[in-house]
Amino acid sequence: MSRLFRRFNGGPAELNTSLKSWYNVIVADGPKSQELSYTSNAWVDVRDAALAHVLALQKEAAGGERIVFSAGSFVWQEWLDIVNTIQPYPLPNHSPTKGIPGLEKSHRIQYDTAKEKIFGIKFKTMGETSRGTLEDFAQKGWWWCSMNTTSCLGASA
């Protein structure tokens, strides 16, 4: 199961927008500009998101609340820095994109996640999410796939 977002049986070109963006930056030699430090957003591991949905139905305190469920803000360079520390690296014959190591990071978007305390969940780290996602890609044979194709010949789904 893809650890970052969801299980997907097609090739990388058919991934959902979020996971395709992650794949493009991390696996498919993504952008190497300072944009890596300025484009920020929020992230959460799909396993944590699934648990939060279940707990939202079980916890009375969650009733009637609007809750932003996020492990935190990120800029792409943070993912690249973390992926480059994973040993052993899960994708054979592939080196992770480096981006611009040491680039000053700016989280331009911050979310109020105070209501998340209702759930008491300890979020997966970026490292745990990255390793799981890369291991899933390796299992599917996606480290060599082109984003311009709709499937990967010989890759398992």
Task: Give the model's pLDDT for residue 150.
Answer: 46
Per residue in 25-54, pLDDT (tens digit) is 888 877 667 777 677 788 999 999 999 999
Decide if 141 contacts 7 (C-beta within 8 A).
no
Task: Give the model's pLDDT for residue 24.
Answer: 85
For residues 156 and 103, the model is more confident at 103
Decide if 128 contacts 82 (C-beta within 8 A).
no
Nearest 10 degrees: Cα torsion 73, 77, 80, 86: -70
Give the highest mean pLDDT range of 71-80, 91-100, 127-136: 127-136
Closest CA to 43 of 77, 2, 79, 87: 79
Task: Give the model's pLDDT for residue 37.
Answer: 66
Looking at 76-141, list the stretches that DSSP marks H as alpha helix, in order from N- to C-terminal side.
76-83, 126-140
How many whole angstroms separate alpha carbon 3 and alpha carbon 15? 13
One of 3.90.1170.50, 3.40.640.10, 3.40.50.720, 3.60.40.10 is the CATH number of 12-144, namely 3.40.50.720
> 26-52 burial by CB neighbour count: b if 16+ within 10 A, else e?
bbbebeeeeebbbbbebbbbbbbbeeb
Task: Give the model's pLDDT for residue 151.
Answer: 47
Q: Give residue 62's pLDDT band: very low, low, confident or very high (50, 70, 90).
A: very high
Per residue in 5-25, pLDDT (tens digit) is 444 456 787 788 888 888 888
Indicate the pTM of the whole model.
Answer: 0.80
How far are the Cα atoms of 29, 48, 149 from residue 51, in angstroms, in the given order?
32, 5, 33
Q: Is the pLDDT of residue 89 over 60?
A: yes
Question: Where are the chain's structural domains?
Answer: 12-144
Per residue in 112-156, pLDDT (tens digit) is 778 888 999 889 999 999 999 999 988 888 766 644 444 454 344
